[in-house]
Amino acid sequence: MSKLRLGVIGVGGIAVGRHIPAFRKLEEEVTIVAVSDVNVERAKSVAKEFDIPHTFADYRDMLSEVDAVVVCTPNKFHSEITVRALEAGVHVLCEKPMAMTAAECQAMVDAAKAANKVLSIGFHYRYMKESQAAKKIMAAKEIGEPLVVRVQALRRRKVPGWGVFTNKDLQGGGSLIDYGCHLLDLSLWLMGNPKPVEVTGTTYNTLSRQPGQVNQWGSFDHETFNVDDHVTSYIRFDNGASMLLEVSWSANIESDKESVSISGDQGGLEVFPFKLNYAKHGMLFNSEATWIPSEEDPGHLQAKNFVDACLNAAELVVKPEEALFVSQIMEAIYKSSQEKKGVQL
């Protein structure tokens, strides 16, 4: 079996901190042959650090040299780069969120189908051991049919003060599109990806526009801050289930909180930490797993699944059509907040 030739487009923190190390662990199946970045000196530095032979200032010049790429650019460029790569016959793993708009996401899905190439999105929360355990429980119908899902992705005063996270033109949004998308995607996946039919949402950025910020993750300009730092939403699905979603970079809360809680008609499930709650024999039970069999880093599992899918050895864990649902919901939340009314999907 020949090795997959991989290129990395955009060599910022996520590429260096997650993707390049993860793919380097798969040296028997894949070789990172090139990196590309508009900051050529940064690209050269990363190539030297990781012993990657080729550097390109323009990603388009890379496409003829690779079989697959990882797209790690700001969100604004996800769709354009992904579509062009797919049209060139190259498999794509694109960082989350899929793109800036649902229309851009649909263009990516269509391009993947037309090219018959693999397209996956970097929702690595699906690969966490608690998430994998929860998926098994849901597939076995141990809590029955999901009725109500409560999702919280809350950080206390942790607006990312680096990169372009607070640049709406490049990112499309703030806490929801950057952080909340992970737990929204995870929840939808655990539910079996029901079709969303109505979304009501409210976005805030009052706190981060105040002077004298207390922020644990660097500094940012409060006067130019124009993305969301706190979001609430209520989502209805075609199967009758509903979701309560709350996301924040900078909530005034006691401590950070990541929570996915699913109430089914036969029991309940908490993902972080992993627990089951149910009634039986006239009693109430709370059950914890004393051991979950996974020592793997989610980034490594994500890379492995992508490579195996490209080599026709595995089914994708994160399918592009599912990632499209996530973006449709986020877009509807932003629209609902702007129009101050519910949005039908």
Q: How confident is the model at residue 294 (pLDDT cuts 50, 70, 90)?
A: confident
Task: State residue 68's pLDDT score.
Answer: 98
pLDDT tens-digit profile of 26-83? 999 999 999 999 999 999 999 999 999 999 999 999 999 999 999 999 999 999 999 9
**1: pLDDT strictly greater than 60:** no
Report, as an integer, the average pLDDT of 200-216. Answer: 95
pLDDT tens-digit profile of 239-249? 999 999 999 99
Q: How confident is the model at residue 101 (pLDDT cuts 50, 70, 90)?
A: very high
pLDDT tens-digit profile of 12-24? 999 999 999 999 9
Q: Can you tell me whether residue 8 is helix, strand or coil? A: strand
CB atoms within 10 A of CB 234: 16
Residue 339 CA: distances (Å) to CA of 36, 168, 202, 229, 336: 40, 19, 10, 18, 5
Q: How confident is the model at residue 199 (pLDDT cuts 50, 70, 90)?
A: very high
Which residue has tokens 């229309």?
Answer: 103
Task: State residue 296's pLDDT score.
Answer: 78
Query: What does the domain layout of the chain look like in residue ranges?
Result: 4-123+299-315, 126-294+326-344
Task: State residue 103's pLDDT score.
Answer: 98
* Residue-averaged pLDDT of the chain: 96
pLDDT tens-digit profile of 325-334? 999 999 999 9
Among 245, 308, 343, 288, which Cα is nearest to 137's? 288
Cα–Cα distance measured from residue 27 to residue 100, given in angstroms and rounded to the nearest whole number: 33
CATH topology of domain 126-294+326-344: Dihydrodipicolinate Reductase; domain 2 (3.30.360)
**260: pLDDT strictly greater than 70:** yes
Tally helices (H) and strands (E) across the chain. Answer: 11, 15
Q: Per-residue b/e over 145-182, b at no fewer than 16 CB within 10 Å? A: ebeebbbbbbbbbbbbeeeebbbbeebbbbbbbbbbbb
The answer to whether the beta carbons of residues 27 and 21 sit under 8 Å apart is no
The alpha carbons of the chain give a radius of gyration, in whole angstroms, of 20
Class of the CATH domain delimited by 4-123+299-315: alpha beta
Instruction: Kindly report the pTM of this predicted structure.
Output: 0.96
Amino acid at 14: I
Report, as an integer, the average pLDDT of 320-339. Answer: 98
pLDDT tens-digit profile of 148-182? 999 999 999 999 999 999 999 999 999 999 999 99
**2: pLDDT strictly greater than 90:** no
pLDDT tens-digit profile of 112-137? 999 999 999 999 999 999 999 999 99
